[in-house]
């Protein structure tokens, strides 16, 4: 009852904000950073629609640097197209960004955050991103207080490329203000955090039981056995507490991606892998009979999960996704087999050839196809065909994951397989390239791929907001999932998991 009461208080605050654009933007930004925006989609939409009209017609809202940058970012994040030309009047007569802006630290932070929404061809956003990051980094070296920590957080974790769910506690500790609404928002966020924590604990219990009953850890001792780590993907990607069932169901195909990857990467012979790939492509009893026992166990689990999810989607949304799911698994196994053949032959492919196959073998397409159907929005014949065909919104996320994975200095815990690396292919193709230059090239490619992903999330696009935001969340989760330390652990991910699932927030 307290939670419901606090929700209504925040609703009324949002409705009463009136024509004060900056205050409305600050409220929306705070709600999103606290990870409680799923309660207020309607109210946020009303404010942003009004702002979008104002942005396109009134020039005086561009006088305040922070307001301009924040408004641009919030609109772009919600899929509204706003021209980057709104930043052109930050330049002087010589076409350079005005020096006087360098004294506005809050404005520079806003500009840096806005530049993360850049799409290809937006030179002005590239410029303001470089301009703001250089000045903020320089400012930080001369200051050592709470503002400097906030600036460091902005540079290291810009909102658009971070997971609000994982940053919310940090934001909460810095979220202070004299406005009355700040305390109301803080109180709701604390209550919400503890309510959601109990939901995640129940989901983890469900998945632990499912994984134990499935029996793969017992039967396939060579494969990874990390169901709670795999659950972190859906937990991060689908933050809305009402999507509990979808999070639990999505963990199941994610688990199978890891298990099948280990079969190809660390255990199966090339002949066995060829038979397994054929069985997944045909999905027939006769093909499965040819497999060794450990592969039969894996295929039976895959078949059971695919049937179960297909039945659930059909019952909930009236469409049977079986054909799409089977096709996605076949594509994944085909890509895994290509890599297995390269390794068996001692062949190092060209970097582009490796990456083209690597975006498929990343497993992102399989997972996002499942997610598209589990979310259940916009399951039309046209959209199903688009999803089946590996659209840009999915391939961009897959490319980001593949490249981040290959940047990793250490492999996953318990995995010593042979699956190649983009860096290895790139350096062989360009003799004399240092590892530092190769890594810079990969980081640049990731940055360019983010621009494509940003573009795909702008309206109009064929997908629901829930799907596009989930795709963005996968890309945001990637650095956390692949930043291994020297002990083959993920300290940052482990810290977030402990914070979200085990620790309470005191009122």
Give the span between the Cα atoms of 80 and 452, in whole angstroms. 16
- According to DSSP, the residues that pair with 494 across neighbouring strands are none
* Co-location of 134 and 266 in the same domain: no
> Looking at residue 415, what is its pLDDT?
46
* Co-location of 260 and 394 in the same domain: yes
> Looking at residue 177, what is its pLDDT?
66
* Co-location of 170 and 255 in the same domain: no
User: Which helix H or strand E contains 71, and what residues bound it?
Assistant: helix 65-77
* Co-location of 176 and 221 in the same domain: no
Question: Which residues constitute the domain of residue 279?
Answer: 215-502
Please identify, among 168, 187, 206, the residue that sits at the C-terminal boundary of a domain: 187
Residue 287 burial (C-beta neighbours within 10 Å; 0-12, 13-18, 19+): middle
Residue 158: half-sphere exposure toward Cβ, Cα within 13 Å:
22
Backbone phi, then psi, for 74, in 5-degree steps?
-65, -40
CA angle 471, 311, 240 (to 5 degrees): 35
Backbone phi, then psi, for 325, in 5-degree steps?
-65, -45
* Co-location of 178 and 268 in the same domain: no
Look-up of token digits 């995640």:
200
* Co-location of 157 and 303 in the same domain: no
Contact, 248 vs 288, CB < 8 A? no
The Cα-based distances of 475 to 143, 157, 246, 387 in angstroms read 32, 13, 19, 17
Q: Is residue 384 assigned to a domain?
A: yes
First to last CA, the chain: 16
Q: Is residue 493 assigned to a domain?
A: yes
Q: Is residue 353 assigned to a domain?
A: yes
Q: Three-state SS string across 433-494, please?
A: CCHHHHHHHHHHHHHHHHHHHHHHCCCCCCCCHHHHHHHHHHHHHHHHHCCCCCCCCCHHHH
Q: Is residue 480 assigned to a domain?
A: yes
Q: Which CATH number does the domain housing residue 222 bear?
A: 1.10.600.10
Q: Is residue 76 assigned to a domain?
A: yes
Q: Residue 503 is encoded by which pair of tokens?
A: 């620790």
* Co-location of 436 and 387 in the same domain: yes
User: Which helix H or strand E contains 51, and what residues bound it?
Assistant: helix 41-57
Q: Residue 309 is encoded by which pair of tokens?
A: 């999810």
Residues 6+ apart with CB under 8 A from 470: 237, 238, 368, 371, 375
User: Which helix H or strand E contains 57, and what residues bound it?
Assistant: helix 41-57
Please identify, among 187, 204, 228, the residue that sits at the C-terminal boundary of a domain: 187
> Looking at residue 505, what is its pLDDT?
66
Backbone phi, then psi, for 97, in 5-degree steps?
-70, 135
Q: Residue 48 is encoded by which pair of tokens?
A: 């942003």
The Cα-based distances of 502 to 33, 34, 197 in angstroms read 21, 18, 7
> Looking at residue 98, what is its pLDDT?
83
Q: Is residue 200 assigned to a domain?
A: no
Q: Is residue 193 assigned to a domain?
A: no
Q: Residue 424 is encoded by which pair of tokens?
A: 């290895």
* Co-location of 284 and 403 in the same domain: yes
Q: Is residue 201 assigned to a domain?
A: no
Q: pLDDT tens digits, the chain, 507 residues: what are they?
A: 888 899 999 998 888 876 678 889 999 999 999 999 999 999 999 889 988 988 876 555 556 899 999 999 999 999 999 999 999 888 888 888 888 888 889 999 999 999 999 999 999 999 999 999 999 998 887 776 777 888 988 999 999 999 998 888 878 877 776 667 888 898 999 999 888 999 999 999 999 999 999 998 888 888 888 888 899 999 999 999 999 999 999 999 999 999 999 999 888 899 999 999 999 999 998 989 989 999 999 999 999 999 999 999 999 999 999 999 999 999 999 999 999 999 999 999 999 999 999 999 999 999 999 999 999 999 999 999 999 999 999 999 999 999 999 887 434 444 444 557 899 999 999 999 999 999 999 999 999 999 999 999 998 899 999 999 999 999 999 988 876 555 556 667 777 777 777 666 665
* Co-location of 259 and 394 in the same domain: yes
What are the counts of helices (DSSP H) followed by strands (DSSP E) for the chain? 24, 0
Residue 353 burial (C-beta neighbours within 10 Å; 0-12, 13-18, 19+): middle
DSSP at 17: T
In total, how many domains does the chain have? 2
* Co-location of 156 and 297 in the same domain: no
For residues 225-244, one letter each, b for 16 or more C-beta atoms within 10 angstroms of the residue's C-beta and e for the rest, the string is: ebbebbbbbbbbbbbbeebb
User: Which helix H or strand E contains 307, and what residues bound it?
Assistant: helix 293-317
* Co-location of 164 and 227 in the same domain: no
For residues 489-499, one letter each, b for 16 or more C-beta atoms within 10 angstroms of the residue's C-beta and e for the rest, the string is: ebeebeebbeb
Q: Which CATH number does the domain housing residue 165 bear?
A: 1.50.10.130
Q: Three-state SS string across 245-274, please?
A: HHHHHHHHHHHHHHHHHHHHHHHCCHHHHH
Count CB neighbours of 448 within 10 A. Answer: 13
Please identify, among 138, 168, 187, the residue that sits at the C-terminal boundary of a domain: 187
* Co-location of 163 and 279 in the same domain: no
């Amino acid at each position: 009852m307290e939670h419901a009461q606090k929700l209504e208080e925040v609703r009324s605050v949002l409705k009463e904000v009136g024509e004060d654009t900056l205050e409305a933007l600050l409220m929306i930004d705070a709600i999103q950073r606290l990870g409680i925006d799923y309660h207020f989609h309607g109210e946020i939409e009303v404010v942003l629609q009004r702002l979008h009209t104002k942005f396109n017609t009134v020039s005086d809202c561009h006088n305040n640097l922070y307001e301009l940058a924040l408004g641009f970012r919030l609109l772009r994040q919600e899929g509204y197209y706003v021209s980057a030309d709104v930043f052109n009047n930050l330049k002087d007569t010589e076409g350079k960004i005005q020096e006087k802006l360098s004294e506005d630290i809050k404005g520079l932070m806003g500009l840096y955050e806005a530049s993360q929404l850049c799409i290809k061809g937006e030179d002005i956003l590239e410029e303001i991103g470089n301009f703001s990051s250089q000045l903020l980094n320089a400012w930080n070296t001369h200051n050592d207080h709470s503002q400097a920590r906030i600036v460091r957080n902005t540079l290291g974790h810009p909102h658009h490329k971070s997971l609000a769910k994982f940053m919310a506690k940090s934001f909460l500790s810095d979220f202070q203000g004299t406005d009355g609404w700040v305390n109301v928002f803080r109180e709701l966020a604390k209550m919400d955090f503890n309510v959601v924590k109990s939901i995640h604990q129940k989901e983890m219990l469900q998945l632990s039981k499912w994984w134990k009953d499935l029996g793969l850890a017992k039967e396939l001792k060579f494969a990874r056995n990390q169901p709670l780590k795999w659950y972190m993907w859906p937990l991060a990607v689908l933050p809305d507490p009402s999507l509990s069932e979808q999070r639990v169901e999505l963990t199941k195909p994610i688990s199978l991606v890891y298990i099948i990857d280990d079969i190809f990467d660390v255990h199966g012979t090339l002949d066995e892998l060829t038979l397994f790939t054929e069985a997944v492509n045909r999905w027939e009893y006769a093909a499965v009979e040819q497999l060794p026992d450990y592969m039969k166990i894996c295929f039976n689990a895959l078949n059971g999960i695919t049937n179960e999810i297909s039945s659930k989607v059909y019952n909930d949304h009236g469409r049977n996704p079986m054909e799409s799911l089977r096709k996605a698994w076949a594509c994944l196994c085909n890509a895994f087999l290509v890599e297995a053949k390269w390794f068996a032959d001692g062949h190092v492919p060209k970097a582009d050839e490796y990456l083209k196959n690597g975006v498929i073998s990343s497993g992102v397409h399989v997972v996002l196809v499942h997610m598209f159907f589990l979310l259940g929005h916009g399951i039309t014949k046209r959209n199903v065909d688009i999803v089946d065909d590996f659209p840009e919104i999915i391939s961009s996320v897959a490319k980001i994951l593949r490249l981040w994975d290959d940047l990793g200095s250490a492999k996953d815990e318990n995995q010593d397989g042979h699956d190649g690396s983009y860096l290895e292919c790139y350096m062989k193709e360009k003799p004399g390239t240092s590892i530092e230059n190769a890594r810079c090239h990969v980081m640049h490619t990731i940055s360019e791929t983010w621009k494509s992903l940003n573009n795909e999330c702008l309206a109009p696009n064929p997908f629901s907001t829930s799907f596009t935001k989930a795709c963005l969340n996968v890309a945001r989760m990637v650095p956390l999932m692949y930043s291994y330390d020297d002990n083959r652990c993920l300290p940052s991910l482990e810290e977030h998991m402990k914070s979200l699932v085990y620790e309470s927030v005191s009122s």
